[in-house]
A = this chain, B = another copy of it.
Amino acid sequence: MLKPVLPAVQADHVPPPFLPDEPLSGLFASRQAETFAPGQAVFWQGDQAVDILRIRSGCLRLFRVLPDGRRAITGFAFAGRVLGLAVRGRHAQTAEAVTEVKLQRLSARVFHAAVDDSPGLRPQVMELVCEEAAAAQEQSVMLASKKAEERLATFLVTTAQRTGADLRVPVEIELPMSRLDIADYVGLTIETVSRLFSRFKREGLITLDSPRLVRLRRLRDLIVLAGDLDDGDDFFEPERRPARPH
């Protein structure tokens, strides 16, 4: 689950707009990018899903709204993520830009046709869908059984994970999303999330250079706090995340 999943994103010299070795990048090669401003929706819950999308840069939030207005964020999507693979018919969620987002679009019909007669692509698509399923289950487990502090710790650790940074030293992560987004993601309120940030800071687990810029000191303790996460012992194994030549 938490093993290195993203391929080579941590390579020092690669700027955001060009991630090599991304899954399915070939299919999108010649497609031109659209831009979405922060807060703008890419698609809405209930929309007919006609396209497969690939994020070039930026961050999206994926969420569902209950009839009474409560919002549950099911995930955040970053550069390289392909959306719409597991969608049959209508979108079950809304996708909204958190930061400015650039993405490419491909007709689902064309996409699936192309994938269907490429034995090389098929397992890649399957792999991505499986990852989505696994992530959703992970989230369920967290929400069903973890307490507030464990949820935030989990969020911080997995977010750090995603950046592909070297996890053996204090990691600095930039959170593009607001406290409200985080709250709706981990199933808490803004206030509780904020209080937890403060507490983690007070206890020396993190530092907050600004509300959106977190440095994880004592990552190991955070991992333990997070509870699950394969208990993180193999997080620091040299052979799993080889030292980068510099």
Contacts and interface: CB of A to CB of B under 8 A. Distances in A.
A121 to B, nearest CB: 12
Interface centre among A67, A68, A72, A73 (most CB of B within 10 A): A72
A141 B139 CA distance: 9
Contacts of A129: 86, 126, 129-130, 133
A152 to B, nearest CB: 14
A29 B228 CA distance: 39
Q: How many chain copies does the complex carry? A: 2
A166 interface: no
B140 A92 contact: no
Contacts of A119: 116
Contacts of A25: none
Nearest to A144: B187
Interface in A167-206: 184-187
A122 B127 contact: no
Contacts of A88: 127, 130
A24 interface: no
Contacts of A144: 72-73, 143, 184-187
Contacts of A68: 227
A14 interface: no
A92 B137 contact: yes
A1 interface: yes
A74 interface: yes
Interface in A103-153: 116, 119, 122, 126-127, 129-130, 132-134, 136-137, 139-141, 143-146
Interface of A: 1, 64, 66-68, 70-74, 86-88, 92-93, 116, 119, 122, 126-127, 129-130, 132-134, 136-137, 139-141, 143-146, 184-187, 227-228, 231
15 contacts: A66-B141, A66-B228, A67-B231, A70-B145, A71-B145, A86-B129, A86-B133, A87-B130, A92-B134, A93-B137, A116-B122, A133-B136, A140-B143, A144-B187, A145-B184
Question: Which 5 A-B residue pairings sit nearest by Cβ, starting from the closest?
Answer: A136-B136, A143-B143, A144-B187, A133-B133, A72-B144
